[in-house]
Chains A and B, each alone.
Chain A
């Protein structure tokens, strides 16, 4: 645990918006270690999403250093970055971002399609395995419009997992979900984390943030606080406490 998995030093990001220059990040430094489960919180416009996109190699910062798994992530061309994202990072978005009119299984297969080393047979097997791990093995052939919001997000989680990434980046993964479904997603996250997957998650819901191990608070493009969560919420237990609802509203 000596070397951090993610190491960010003095990251800044500013961009032009109309006449004004927006400073989204004003010098962010942080180390995130393997097996961490980090929740990033902060008001909207505090720079947490920009930070997340930078960590996910989707966006380039204006200055600073960023090492992921010991690799300089800021010194790669477009194709190298694409491959890097494909092999090392799993993404989960607030709006699920799964392809419409494409079955759950094919959505999960997608990252493997962009990896030539994986055969068709292996791709199918791994995608099914990932779907099973989020409890959707029986929904493999359903189209997204036949799935509930929670189920769609679980397809997205399976897609993020299928390439066995080093880290999962989740941007408001429960933003579009109700409390119960949110807790179920968090329960999956905690399970994944316990099997050794590092998770970085942006959220603005305090309850969801309490499911993580570490909380980082952003304000005005800076980290203003970082602490370990004192009494961590175990999502599975919270779920048990909730009143049992009728069958149709369960995911």
Chain B
């Protein structure tokens, strides 16, 4: 029997029971559509989780100078002057797993404006620092490369500074403040971050160009308080740490037996949680989608069994006039595969459409990947073959004389 003929026969038989074929397909349609929509929404929510977690600075790597030992007493980490500007430049040049890097110098200062004064910390950083810390400046502007180049006396302040020095109702942008007697012009204010996990007020800081602070407030030394970096992705953090360590050990000419004279820190715990969340979510989505497709497959099997019983006589006739078991098997297999293919195709259309609608009206970021389409379509085809096989086998093994006598 020619395969084309089998397709025609199968197609006709589906056409004869339109409603039934459609309802059977519906199982697959919904299954496939839900796989695609789930994956699309899942990808979208993964991305949004990713971005919100990365605003916590998951990928952040902080390099600090080592501890100073003074008369046998070891002081706190960062007390030694072991990090220099050149270290930052070397790391920036040689570590290609890093996305952003900024040297950091900071100093406790007294800020004065008119008759108000406030004790705070001033940071000297470059533009990458805003990205690493996920600071956004929506009032005013950040300082430019030009400001950095000429060590301009400009700064971006936090909300707490604004409220303590200026009070409400005053726009601080363009105002001048004196920081340790040096006048700075306020060019921007970063958006409120609130407290961090340790209760520190993240809005109580002034951020200025790195060169400005190092040259004007650190008496010209080229020591750094720390280096802030971010790895290109959460998965690369460990490798990036190794890279930084190698570069710094070389630069500091440390023998293999020497301890590091610096410390590299990461937000390991948060990164681990992030990894777990992603894994759990993928698993959850995959199982929900898989279950719905299997339910659809059982629907196919059910209908094919009914169909075989209903058409026992037809099978008997076909067997009597010379159909082989193989012909009957193929006939019913093709029917179930056809159901799952058409259902799969319609399901893909519906799934893409549904994802699009969710994205458009739900305000949820969705991404339909070709992978999810191929995956769900292939899975639906496999379901059709798997669940179509048993009923088809049953039909093919019928005895012609029994099938002909069937009422």
- A residues with CB within 8 A of B: 53, 56, 58-59, 78-79, 82-83, 85-87, 91, 93, 97-99, 101-102, 110-111, 113-116, 159, 163
Q: Given that A58-B400, A58-B404, A114-B1 are known contacts, is A97 also in contact with B317, CB under 8 Å in the complex?
A: yes
Residues of A within 8 A of B2 (CB): 113, 116
Stretch at the interface among B140-148, B154-162, B299-307, B321-329: B321-329
**B404 and A86: CB pair below 8 A?**
no
In the assembled complex, the Cα of A149 lies from the Cα of B325 at a distance in Å of: 30
**A113 and B400: CB pair below 8 A?**
no
In the assembled complex, the Cα of A98 lies from the Cα of B316 at a distance in Å of: 11
Closest to B403 in A: A58
**A78 and B324: CB pair below 8 A?**
yes
**A53 and B401: CB pair below 8 A?**
yes
In the assembled complex, the Cα of A110 lies from the Cα of B5 at a distance in Å of: 10
Q: Which of B1-18 contact A (CB under 8 A)?
A: 1-2, 5, 12, 16
A74 to nearest B CB, angstroms? 15
User: Which of A83, A97, A101, A110 contacts B324, CB < 8 Å?
Assistant: A83
Q: Given that A59-B401, A101-B16, A116-B2 are known contacts, is A85 also in contact with B321, CB under 8 Å in the complex?
A: yes
Residues of A within 8 A of B1 (CB): 113-114, 116
In the assembled complex, the Cα of A101 lies from the Cα of B12 at a distance in Å of: 9
B138 to nearest A CB, angstroms? 71
A108 to nearest B CB, angstroms? 11
B318 at the interface (CB under 8 A from A): yes
B35 to nearest A CB, angstroms? 35
Residues of A within 8 A of B326 (CB): 79
Residues of A within 8 A of B324 (CB): 78-79, 82-83, 114
B242 at the interface (CB under 8 A from A): no
B313 at the interface (CB under 8 A from A): yes
**B327 and A114: CB pair below 8 A?**
yes
SS class of chain B's interface: helix, strand, loop or mixed? Answer: helix
In the assembled complex, the Cα of A224 lies from the Cα of B11 at a distance in Å of: 51
A145 to nearest B CB, angstroms? 13
**A85 and B322: CB pair below 8 A?**
yes
Q: Given that A113-B1, A113-B5 are known contacts, is A82 also in contact with B401, CB under 8 Å in the complex?
A: no
A85 to nearest B CB, angstroms? 5
User: Which of B317, B319, B322 contacts A99, CB < 8 Å?
Assistant: B317
A122 to nearest B CB, angstroms? 13
Residues of A within 8 A of B281 (CB): none
Q: Number of contacts between A and B (CB, 8 Å)?
A: 59
In the assembled complex, the Cα of A59 lies from the Cα of B400 at a distance in Å of: 8
**B16 and A111: CB pair below 8 A?**
no
Closest to A80 in B: B324
**A83 and B314: CB pair below 8 A?**
no
A128 to nearest B CB, angstroms? 18
Residues of B within 8 A of A110 (CB): 317-318, 321
A66 to nearest B CB, angstroms? 15
User: Which of B313, B314, B316, B321 contacts A111, CB < 8 Å?
Assistant: B321
Further contacts, 10 of them, CB under 8 A, given A86-B321, A91-B321, A116-B2: A58-B400, A59-B401, A79-B324, A82-B319, A82-B324, A85-B322, A86-B322, A101-B12, A111-B322, A114-B323
B320 at the interface (CB under 8 A from A): yes
B260 to nearest A CB, angstroms? 78
Residues of B within 8 A of A102 (CB): 12
Residues of B within 8 A of A82 (CB): 319, 322-325
Q: Given that A58-B401, A59-B401, A116-B2 are known contacts, is A85 also in contact with B325, CB under 8 Å in the complex?
A: no
Residues of A within 8 A of B5 (CB): 113
Residues of A within 8 A of B325 (CB): 78-79, 82
In the assembled complex, the Cα of A47 lies from the Cα of B322 at a distance in Å of: 24
Residues of B within 8 A of A101 (CB): 12, 16
In the assembled complex, the Cα of A116 lies from the Cα of B320 at a distance in Å of: 17
Residues of A within 8 A of B321 (CB): 85-86, 91, 110-111, 114, 159
B200 to nearest A CB, angstroms? 80
A188 to nearest B CB, angstroms? 19
A-B residue pairs, 8 tightest by C-beta: A86-B322, A114-B322, A82-B324, A111-B321, A58-B401, A59-B401, A79-B324, A97-B317
In the assembled complex, the Cα of A115 lies from the Cα of B1 at a distance in Å of: 6
B330 to nearest A CB, angstroms? 12
In the assembled complex, the Cα of A115 lies from the Cα of B317 at a distance in Å of: 15
In the assembled complex, the Cα of A71 lies from the Cα of B258 at a distance in Å of: 95
